[in-house]
Structure 1
Amino acid sequence: MDITNCQHPNHDSQRIKYVCVDPQCSIPKKIGCADCFLDDHISHVRKTTTQFKDFVNESIQQINAVEFQQVTNSPQQDLEKEMDGELDNCIECIKSKFNSIKGDLKGQIDNDMIKLQDNCAQFQQNMNNELEPFKSTIKNDLHVLNQTELNSLVKFYQEASKIHKHYNKAAEQIQEEKQKIKLKKQKYLAKMRSIMQILLKDFNELMTSKNVQFDDSGDSETPQKQIMSPNKMINLVETARSSRRFPMSQIQKKQLLTAVTKKLE
């Protein structure tokens, strides 16, 4: 029996010549002679057996010629490197800002301390200069002092409480200035803590699942991010499976999304 000829009893053993390639065709038998196609595929898209074989062979060669570039680093490794770089930049930026605040604080405190030390030294010098003559004079017997020296001691006696009050007040002012410097330092420290709390709050909000979306974010994505996008990976897998008539179910999609997300964590 010649299988190249039609076996239909009413088709006069015509040569099998056509293949139906119509996407809408639901007839199980896709190959036949001219009469077969008049009976079952009259309005369908057809190709001769030679055209069909040539097209299939050419398509196989074209698809087989597709080359896949060897991957030396996995997308996960590329993403980790990018994340490490971004994290390092972020940390350096934060350190730079806090060092700027610390430098500003140190500069102000240093200037305030220099002024305070100068004032303290000046008060000490003024007090020494004022008391030194009386220290020398009072060592002598009063009856050997001349009138000027005795009058000076008498005047000191009369104004001693006022002088004491004056320098005591100066010492209190020095302490107040020291306290102001301390409060300024505490204020800057509170400012740094406040900035850190804001940064941590914003970070926590950005990293919640409600705010972090894994959807495609347009042309601005880096190649690494495009590769590692879970939804893109799912679409790629689903496309490949659909082309082979094995589409993914919703459960399989969820399982794949969970697996990809874990890889990115």
Structure 2
Amino acid sequence: MDISVCQNPNHDSQRLKYICVDPTCCVPKKIGCADCFLDDHITHIRKTTTQFKEQVSQSIEQISQIEFQKVTGSPQRDLDSQIDFELENCIDCIKSRFSSIKSDLKSQIDSDMTKVQDNCTQFQQNMNNELDPFKLTIQNELPSLNHNELNQLVKFYQEAPKIHKHYSKTAELLQDEKQKVKQKKQKYLNKMKNIMQILLKEFNELMTSKNVQFDDGSEYETPQKQAMSPNKMINLVETARSSRRFPMSQSQKKYFLAAVTKKLD
């Protein structure tokens, strides 16, 4: 039996030439010859089987070309190097305090980037799951398809522009989320730099030859040393840290006071 010709005995074995793509069509049989369409689809939108197959293939190819960019590498590589470079100029006790801040920033940024990556992977899988069945079906001869398979292709044909718009918009939104994470990273990095610049400014003023006077055992302190006493250094760090959420505990203050005093001695 030739599956490419109409099996209706009254249609003179005409070739199955047309596909009904009308969104309002409720007729189960979407493929037919010219007489079939005169009987059941006379006012409906139609395509030839060749046109239909070409356009479905084009839609599949067009949607398949949407790319979901994968996040590669760590978002912290440049952040690590810049923060480490800045911290090299700080005294050891200050550096140890900032390491906790850096760890927190890393965990926040990495967590955000992981969410973006997971969303990219999920939407890529969703798109593949939606398109793969049609990729397989459209490779067959249309007359060989059952009603359900052909109806599914017709439905896909009708909804292909909407599907393409959906996944294109999703890809744009995910790219925007990735950019927001980068901006957040830069914002935190700038805060870190500002804190370190405040500390470095005070350290530079303290360590200039004009200001530094070593304690020779005299009971009198220089005005410069009074202005940058260990307690004031603790207050300076506390002030610089106030924009973050890392206040010093009493034990940390005691440790830091001892470290700074040792440095100044």
TM-score w.r.t. structure 2 length?
0.45
Q: Which has the higher contact order (CA 8 A, sep 6+)?
A: 2
Calculate the TM-score normalised by the size of structure 1: 0.45
